[in-house]
A and B are shown apart, each in its own frame.
Chain A
């Protein structure tokens, strides 16, 4: 229970960094949950994130799993509110001002300037993830295969991740 304020702080902080996508905040999420608070290992964080890709809805719901690990149902609820509350309030306010902001010359500069930075953050996040997920040539092949299929064919990504589970079960199972 005494972890609840820390959970609220960490996930509110991390949520404000998800510019362009949840992956942008991944390095910060890793630093805080793995290195600082030691709530879980990088391996476990990557596992939960990856399982989250198969769940329906917004793709960062794995934060709820971390909350549950740390402080049960209360932890899950606190994380959910901390992660989605502040950014939603911000979006609500900016959304209402958006049309008025059309007159503001900096609006388009901010959008244009933040686009490449957010893509850089997403890439950095995926490298952090890859450092734990890509451990040998088999995992590298699976990742590359998924990348190539998704870029050239229209396949449901959740199905591909499920395919990864099947490949993993066959290739990595101890026998």
Chain B
């Protein structure tokens, strides 16, 4: 990781504060906030390195934002940096949702709140779908990819198979389909 070498002296406190700031201000999609803070403002990593961290994060279980925090924190300052980044990015949202949960418990049944939540849930569904369409546009170049997408959706949604089972079975077949040495296996970043 040559891009980090120039920034070897990043303190754990700095890492915590920067990720706390991202965690507190990133409304909507968190990725642009991460890039703006880490690549543009702090220069802790370059664009190529950031794209690589995102690609690792998308393959592994865990949310992309927390995975990026763990990976970059570790590269900047080891285990302590990783922990600082993770706690920082999670803390503000966790506090907000802790309080929101209590508020929903108390006021969730009020007619005006129920009315607003109906609209919120509908808009949120549109948002989730938009995120998936954007992700699909950039990472599904093959027809066979679409087959795996459809098989996965049908298995979970129509056949009510559990997510771990589908992830293991369809995932295994897809990985074997793109096995090393086969012309289908494409080069990844």
Residues of A within 8 A of B (CB): 13, 15-25, 27-28, 31, 44, 46-62, 64-66, 68-69, 73, 76, 80, 84, 87-88, 90-92, 94-96, 98-99, 105-130, 132-135, 138-140, 142-148, 150-151, 156-169, 171-174
Q: Are A50's CB and B117's CB within 8 A?
A: yes
Q: Are A115's CB and B101's CB within 8 A?
A: no
CA distance A53 to B121 in the complex (A): 10
Q: Are A119's CB and B135's CB within 8 A?
A: yes
Chain B neighbourhood of A148, CB < 8 A: 126
Chain B neighbourhood of A51, CB < 8 A: 97, 100, 104, 117, 120
Q: Are A124's CB and B94's CB within 8 A?
A: no
Residues of B within 8 A of A (CB): 1, 22-30, 55-67, 70-71, 74-75, 79, 82, 86, 89-94, 96-98, 100-102, 104-105, 108, 111-112, 114-136, 139-140, 144-153, 156-157, 162-164, 166-167, 170-171, 174-181, 185-188
Q: Are A69's CB and B97's CB within 8 A?
A: no
CA distance A47 to B120 in the complex (A): 8
**Residues A107 and B74 in contact in the complex (CB < 8 Å), given A18-B62, A168-B120:** no
Question: Chain B contact residues: over half helix, strand or loop, or mixed?
Answer: helix
Chain A neighbourhood of B188, CB < 8 A: 107-108, 111-112
Q: Which of A24, A112, A138 contacts B163 (CB 8 A)?
A: A24
Question: Chain A contact residues: over half helix, strand or loop, or mixed?
Answer: helix
Q: Which of B59, B86, B101, B122 contacts A139 (CB 8 A)?
A: B122
Q: Are A119's CB and B61's CB within 8 A?
A: no
